[in-house]
A and B are shown apart, each in its own frame.
Chain A
Amino acid sequence: MMWISGGFVFRRGTSAYHKLDPRVKLLISLLMFVATLLVKAVYEMAVVIAFMVAVAAVATVLKRVLRTMAFTALFSAFIFGVNMLATRNLFSSTLYATRFVAIVVSTSLFFITTSPDELEQVMKTFRFPRDIVFAFVTAVRFIPVMMLDTIQIMDAQKSRGLELEKGNILRRVRNMIPILIPLVVNSVVRSGELAEAMESRAYGAVPRPTSLVAYRAGGRDVAVAAAAVLVFALTAYSFYYILPLHLP
């Protein structure tokens, strides 16, 4: 849980990177993601990861990204181990293990610097249906509410003698039932109330609702996007044609 919240939950920031158009941030993350899939050597992966760390530093989220990398490393150690057993190739095993870290970091960089509002904007850009976008928006909006709900239910059930931390795994899973049932019931009631409130505020009145905030990519956004594509192309080109160092 902590790992997910640290690595993927948006926190407000004021860096230049945060202020970029969300679509540009998505582009940069996608390019980094693709880059991790393209590289064929460990030193190339090092270059890509170094680039990610640089982006994280610009976005002032270096600490969080490094922590995410550390957590991911635990999983990638497992990947490394399995690969070593299967292939007995140190380099390819290292490549696979680091690739996992790099993929997580490229995705995480997008999510921790992009507010839910901006995510909504990205979905609208790609012409997701209004209902889907709205379902996503409310789902994210109610995460903190549901978390609070869960804590309250857990406290209530514990105060009635439920022992969550006792017994073997099976027993512990069974112990979650008295938490889950009220949580589900709460959510059903909540969704009914939400539906009423949506109707009362004219949800679905017109096929193309307007939006209070306009997201327009400015000159800086275009420049950054162009630079990102250029850097990506140059790097890919040099990996394949100029510097095929044939290093491991």
Chain B
Amino acid sequence: MTEILKIDGLSFKYPDSPRKAVSDFDLEIPEGEIVALAGPSGCGKSTLLRTVNGLIPHMYSGDYSGDVLVAGTSVKGSSMRDLAQNVGFLFQNPENQIFMFSVERDVAFGLENLGVPRAEMRKRVDEAIDLLGISSLAQRAPHELSDGQKQRVALAGVLAMRPRLVILDEPMSLLDPKTASELVELVEKLRKELGTTFVVVEHRLDLLVKHADRLVVMSSGRKVIEGSPREVLFGDEAESYGVSVPAVTKVQRMLADDGAVPRDRLMSPPELATAVRGALR
């Protein structure tokens, strides 16, 4: 598999900041993976994400060294126009990324900006709307939507541009648990159906670990841990960086230490329950 994203020795410092927001960062993501990025607030996650879709250095300048390659092309040398077609960015607050008065017009926004012909645009907008199951909302105005619906609309607008890599910046922070788990299932579905790569920043890992191929932990601008969710969450370091290890994993870890359950994979609550029942018999 080829790498859709390659970050190579990246450092970035904002002009008025005394320390680097991201320093000596390396990361390679093969196409089609779901990568979870975790770390305490202010650790540089947001800055890192903005270097991937080109907001840094194209919109924010600063001391930039190293390189970021999206689909083999350097972000520094690409225009925002080209980047927008390769990298989709779902920001934390969906409210501030919906521009138009109707859902379908907003989903079309990026395509309109790219000058996509109307017939083609209609097709891609309908596809994105179907994919996210929001056809019943197509004519609604943004203020008639719930937060979860806004999130879907914003994501549809991102997907209509058919990016190969999608960044989700704390997509669940405004969602209730049910809507949040629906979102995670949706991400998995999109990865399966479209082969889209996802980088998801999230504190609440319990929902995400099921589908994530990789977990990256950042602290003070550096990558401190990288591995499969199992390796990272069974390790001792993750919690010291403020990663919230899902309760079920903590229990599994304790039981595994006693040899009661296996530690070769992360178990979901039903799996763990079954294993415990088996051990009790």
Tell me which residues from 73 to 130 in chain B have a Cβ below 8 Å from any Cβ of chain A: 79-81, 84-85, 87-89, 91, 93, 95-102, 104-105, 108-118, 121-122, 125
Which of A134, A190, A202, A212 is within 8 Å of B114, CB to CB? A202
Asked if B171 is at the interface of the complex by the 8 Å CB criterion, the answer is: no
Q: Is the CB of A201 within 8 A of B101?
A: no
Q: Is the CB of B101 within 8 A of A137?
A: yes
Which chain A residues border B98 with CB–CB below 8 Å?
A: 141
Which chain A residues border B252 with CB–CB below 8 Å?
A: none
Asked if B157 is at the interface of the complex by the 8 Å CB criterion, the answer is: yes
Which of A145, A193, A202 is within 8 Å of B85, CB to CB? A202
Q: Is the CB of B100 within 8 A of A141?
A: yes
Which of B95, B110, B117 is within 8 Å of A145, CB to CB? B95
- Of B53-61, B172-180, B266-274, the stretch lying at the interface with chain A is B53-61
Tell me which residues from 185 to 216 in chain A have a Cβ below 8 Å from any Cβ of chain B: 190, 193-206, 208-214
Asked if A117 is at the interface of the complex by the 8 Å CB criterion, the answer is: yes
Q: Is the CB of A137 within 8 A of B161?
A: no
Which of A141, A193, A210 is within 8 Å of B91, CB to CB? A193
Tally of B interface residues using CB under 8 Å: 44
Which of A116, A193, A206, A214 is within 8 Å of B113, CB to CB? A206
Residue of A nearest to B143 (CB): A144
Which chain A residues border B221 with CB–CB below 8 Å?
A: none
Knowing A199-B55, A200-B53, A201-B84, the reply to whether A214 touches B100 (Cβ < 8 A) is no
Tally of A interface residues using CB under 8 Å: 32
Q: Is the CB of B99 within 8 A of A137?
A: yes
Knowing A209-B112, A214-B118, the reply to whether A202 touches B101 (Cβ < 8 A) is no
Q: Is the CB of A138 within 8 A of B99?
A: yes
Which chain A residues border B101 with CB–CB below 8 Å?
A: 115-117, 137, 140-141
CB distance from A147 to the nearest CB of B (A): 9
Q: Is the CB of B118 within 8 A of A211?
A: yes
Which chain B residues border A199 with CB–CB below 8 Å?
A: 55, 58-59, 80, 84
Asked if B44 is at the interface of the complex by the 8 Å CB criterion, the answer is: no
Which chain A residues border B116 with CB–CB below 8 Å?
A: 210
Which chain B residues border A195 with CB–CB below 8 Å?
A: 59
Asked if B142 is at the interface of the complex by the 8 Å CB criterion, the answer is: yes
Q: Is the CB of A117 within 8 A of B113?
A: no
- Can you list 23 A-B contacts with CB-CB less than 8 angstroms, sorted by A residue number? A117-B105, A134-B99, A138-B99, A140-B101, A141-B98, A141-B100, A194-B96, A197-B96, A199-B59, A199-B80, A201-B109, A201-B157, A202-B84, A206-B114, A206-B115, A209-B113, A210-B115, A210-B121, A211-B108, A211-B112, A212-B104, A212-B125, A214-B118
**A residues in contact (CB < 8 Å) with B:** 115-117, 134, 137-138, 140-141, 144-145, 190, 193-206, 208-214
The 4 closest A-B pairs by CB, nearest first: A197-B97, A201-B110, A202-B84, A212-B108
**B residues in contact (CB < 8 Å) with A:** 50, 53, 55, 58-59, 79-81, 84-85, 87-89, 91, 93, 95-102, 104-105, 108-118, 121-122, 125, 142-143, 157-158, 161
Q: A195-B59, A208-B115, A209-B114 are in contact. List 5 more A-B contacts (CB 8 A).
A: A193-B91, A200-B89, A201-B110, A202-B114, A211-B108
